[in-house]
């Protein structure tokens, strides 16, 4: 007797002339296909978009460097550039007044008043300290000092990867801070808490942006002989906790399992619904003809 492998077919075919198409079945079938297509596309988008997973640990992510880059971009609409300079201090004894390296000052005008767009890129040590915009390095002092300002950027470390847009507010939270309506003689004090951050993408490329939080206060400082010259201070400390973000993709077999579950589950539920509707319709017809018993 010849062995027939077709005996193992669990998907036995029913002759077409023994099946009965219905309008309800057609509607359910089309709805099921559309539903499956929607779920498949949604799952595909989730699969090709990696998740950003975060962990916290105690470590310095950039151990090869004792310096941290800072990017500063601030508009002062009522202070001329000739009076402004950048001063840097820290607990390692650093004290620079009027640092000019990688610093640009461009005049800006608003309501016929000359102001200044102040930009700088510099390095700080990884110890508590401060940097501030002041008139300390100017040969002469302004008659009407006004440190009202608008912050475009205060950023530490590398520019965050575009994939970190979901948490981008943590890397430049001072962006668009508007202090242009502040009192003219006010000193602006920003207390900054810097959190070392590592981002590792799916190709194992490493980026080192630094997140930070801040608090702010306006103070009119009194000294001998009257009000002290105002300034914009950024007092910073580094957190010992490092935040690490890395991309994590779902395995392909997980995607296949989900797709199979979508297709199988939809057709099973649709078949049950169609069977129930068809059975109810048959019972209704028999009841109308008096053949229910």
The structural domain count of the chain equals: 2
pLDDT of residue 209: 82
Q: What is the mean pLDDT of residues 32-37?
A: 88
Q: What percent of the chain shows pLDDT beyond 90?
A: 35
Q: Token pair for residue 21? A: 């198409």
Q: Are residues 111 and 203 in the same domain?
A: yes
Q: Are residues 193 and 225 in the same domain?
A: yes
Q: Is residue 254 part of a domain?
A: yes
Q: Is residue 13 part of a domain?
A: no
Q: Are residues 179 and 277 in the same domain?
A: no
Q: Are residues 284 and 151 in the same domain?
A: no
- For the beta carbon of residue 233, count every other beta carbon within 10 angstroms: 20
Q: Is residue 14 part of a domain?
A: no
Q: Are residues 114 and 238 in the same domain?
A: yes
Q: Are residues 190 and 225 in the same domain?
A: yes
Q: Are residues 89 and 233 in the same domain?
A: yes
Q: Are residues 160 and 33 in the same domain?
A: no
Q: Is residue 15 part of a domain?
A: no
Residue 66 has pLDDT above 90, yes or no: no
Q: Are residues 129 and 79 in the same domain?
A: yes
pLDDT of residue 47: 79
pLDDT tens digits along 102-125:
899 999 998 889 999 999 999 999
Query: Measured between alpha carbons, how far is 239 from 253 in angstroms, rounded to an integer?
Result: 40
Q: What is the 3-state secondary structure (H, E, C) of 7-37?
A: HHCCCCCCCHHHCCCCHHHHHHHHHHHHHHH
Q: Are residues 196 and 283 in the same domain?
A: no
Q: What is the mean pLDDT of residues 264-273?
A: 86
Q: Is residue 147 part of a domain?
A: yes
Q: What is the mean pLDDT of residues 20-31?
A: 83
Q: Is residue 10 part of a domain?
A: no
Q: Is residue 5 part of a domain?
A: no
pLDDT of residue 4: 76
Q: How confident is the model at residue 84 (pLDDT cuts 50, 70, 90)?
A: very high
Q: Are residues 29 and 97 in the same domain?
A: no
Range of the domain at 136: 55-248
Residue 272 has pLDDT above 80, yes or no: yes
Query: Measured between alpha carbons, how far is 244 from 18 in angstroms, rounded to an integer?
Result: 63
Query: Measured between alpha carbons, how far is 96 from 41 in angstroms, rounded to an integer?
Result: 58
The reply to whether the predicted model has a pTM over 0.75 is no
Q: What is the mean pLDDT of residues 156-161?
A: 77
Q: Are residues 32 and 111 in the same domain?
A: no
Query: Measured between alpha carbons, how far is 229 from 71 in angstroms, rounded to an integer?
Result: 25
Residue 19 has pLDDT above 80, yes or no: no
Q: Is residue 8 part of a domain?
A: no
């Amino acid at each position: 007797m010849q062995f027939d492998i077709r005996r193992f077919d669990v998907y036995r075919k029913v002759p077409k002339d023994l099946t009965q198409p219905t309008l309800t079945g057609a509607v359910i079938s089309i709805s099921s296909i559309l539903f499956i297509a929607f779920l498949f596309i949604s799952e595909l988008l989730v699969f090709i978009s990696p998740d950003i997973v975060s962990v916290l640990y105690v470590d310095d992510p950039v151990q090869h460097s004792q310096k941290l880059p800072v990017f500063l971009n601030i508009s002062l609409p009522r202070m001329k550039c000739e009076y402004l300079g950048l001063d840097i201090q820290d607990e390692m004894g650093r004290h620079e007044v009027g640092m000019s390296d990688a610093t640009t000052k461009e005049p800006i005008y608003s309501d016929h008043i000359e102001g200044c767009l102040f930009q700088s890129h510099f390095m700080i040590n990884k110890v508590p300290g401060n940097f501030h915009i002041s008139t300390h390095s100017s040969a002469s002092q302004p008659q009407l000092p006004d440190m009202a300002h608008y912050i475009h950027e205060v950023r530490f470390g590398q520019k965050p990867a575009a994939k970190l847009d979901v948490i981008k507010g943590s890397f430049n939270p001072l962006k668009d801070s508007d202090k242009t309506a502040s009192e003219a003689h006010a000193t602006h004090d920003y207390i900054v808490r810097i959190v070392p951050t590592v981002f590792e993408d799916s190709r194992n490329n490493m980026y080192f942006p630094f997140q930070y939080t801040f608090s702010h206060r306006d103070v009119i400082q009194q000294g001998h002989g009257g009000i002290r010259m105002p300034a914009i201070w950024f007092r910073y400390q580094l957190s010992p906790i490092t935040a690490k973000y890395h991309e994590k993709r779902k395995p392909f077999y997980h995607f296949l399992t989900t797709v199979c579950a979508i297709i199988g589950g939809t057709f099973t539920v649709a078949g049950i619904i169609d069977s129930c509707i068809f059975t109810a319709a048959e019972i209704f017809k028999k009841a109308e003809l008096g053949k229910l018993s």
